[in-house]
Structure 1
Amino acid sequence: MIDLYSWPTPNGHKVHILLEELGLSYRVHGVNIGTGEQFKPEFLRISPNNKIPALVDPDGPGGESITLFESGAMLIYLAEKTGRFLPASGAARYTTLQWLMWQMGGLGPMLGQAHHFRIYAPEKIDYAVGRYTNEAKRLYGVMDARLANCAYLAGDDYTIADMAAFPWCRSANNQGVDWADYPHAERWFDAIAARPAVQRGVAVLAEQRKPLLDDQARQNLFGAAQYQQR
């Protein structure tokens, strides 16, 4: 059985969704990033970058146990392990990986910054709010243009690229984005949101997440706690 160390954030949801889509047996361990559990030595042994999610699969390549962090790597691993949601070869494989990398290198980080400066930053910095809100809108525009010509990001088939991007789009309003401006992306979002496995995936650990109300949580997520050498 796979052990998953996670929290109900977009990066956690990616892997929750894929595991539910695949129907694999897994045991989830909540890592409360608001209370600083990501800095515990036992978690750092699994995820040295102190970020969720991370997994341990005792039945890895060659029957040996494998430990993974970084959500994109985990999506590729699980897709290849099962032969689903990532084409095995050819142009379709690289198209899927291309859009996965677009999410990992662009959509996720930029929407994360939009969230931070619009919602969580202790002071409103107009330049930062404008910079990242505009970048969020640009990225939704890239996605909308792509989805004007195909059902899913990689083409006609639903893949790990869609599972990676979808959770980041669940808070479009917080990013300053109006779905009405992106009708093709909205159609894509609604289709994925209706999938039962996706609904199960975003429900994983959801009842444990609380609003970030106290200074210690902010320190653990955005402040000095992040930068201590361990």
Structure 2
Amino acid sequence: MSKPIVLYSHATGPNPWKVAIVLEELKIPYTSKFIDFADLKKPPFEKVNINGRVPAIEDPNTGITLSESGAIIEYLQETYDKNNTLNYTSSPEKYLVKQWLHFQMSGQGPYFGQAVWFTKFHSEMIKSAQDRYLNEIKRVLSVLDRHLEGKQYLVGDKATIADLAFVTWDTMIGRIFGERGNEINIEKDYPNYYAWDQRITARPAVKKIIADRQAAMASAKH
């Protein structure tokens, strides 16, 4: 029996919950250790991740300490997914999964994150900045929607780590647009993406983590 992996997380940040989804999907024992934003840049946690960001993991079964959500997800799949239920072993599918995982990390994550910053937290409400990143969300959705034409999943005939990596940022689209929600109609404007998102979020492990995150966010407010 594997010893539980320690997942360093935060209640609101989407990236640690990407890792939690993969842990749940693969039924890997783990415990979540929530770190306050104020403590991320302090020496105790910087010994775990010098960059002062979550997620990070400590795996007592292999002795590795690892940060960066994409790297962690690939590590978990390669180390614990012995039957490759969430990946492929042959080309081109093996590399197409990496392609879409990297698109999530380089395209979806940063653009969605900047949209959150400029619509919710920046000291000045700069419409041009908001417009840029809200439009980038639409562009990312369009890329996924066009790719998913006639497809159930991003690669091949099953959900992979690439599909799962998009979930936690996608759940924030309504919150990000907020009062500007009338500018986007996902079901109508991106029907292939919408069907895929419904398919992925119906998975038991994904539903559990979405609920766990909502509970953690509610608890953090009190």
TM-score for both structures, normalised by structure 1: 0.84
Task: Tell me the distance in 2 between the aligned counterparts of 1:203 and 1:173.
Answer: 17
Task: Tell me the distance in 1 between the aligned counterparts of 2:216 and 2:138.
Answer: 31
Work out the percentage of aligned pairs sharing the same amino acid: 38
How does 1:38-117 map onto structure 2 within 5 Å?
38-60=40-62, 65-83=63-81, 84=84, 85-117=86-118
The reply on whether 1:6 has 2:4 as its aligned counterpart is no
TM-score for both structures, normalised by structure 2: 0.87
Distance 1:43 1:89, change over 3 A: farther
- Residue identity matched to 1:15: V
Please, which runs of 5 or more residues in structure 2 have no aligned partner? 178-183
The reply on whether 1:178 has 2:185 as its aligned counterpart is yes
Task: Tell me the distance in 2 between the aligned counterparts of 1:184 and 1:208.
Answer: 31
- 2:202 aligned partner: 194
Q: SS of 1:209's equivalent?
A: helix
Q: SS of 1:67's equivalent?
A: strand
Given that 1:30 and 1:205 are in contact with CA atoms closer than 8 Å, whether structure 2 keeps it comes out as no
Give the CA RMSD over aligned residues: 1.9
The reply on whether 1:18 has 2:22 as its aligned counterpart is yes
CA deviation map 1:47-103 (0-9, x unaligned): 11111110011112xxxx000000000000000012331222321110000000000
Question: Which one is further off, 98-107 or 23-32?
Answer: 23-32
Please, which runs of 5 or more residues in structure 1 have no aligned partner? 214-230
Instruction: Name the count of aligned residue pairs.
Output: 207
Higher relative contact order (CA 8 A, sep 6+): 1
- Residue identity matched to 1:49: N
Structure 1 residue 24: deviation in Å? Answer: 0.8
- Residue identity matched to 1:178: N
Given that 1:46 and 1:67 are in contact with CA atoms closer than 8 Å, whether structure 2 keeps it comes out as yes
Q: SS of 2:32's equivalent?
A: strand
Q: SS of 2:24's equivalent?
A: helix
CA deviation map 1:125-182 (0-9, x unaligned): 1110111111111110001011113111223210111111111110222344421211
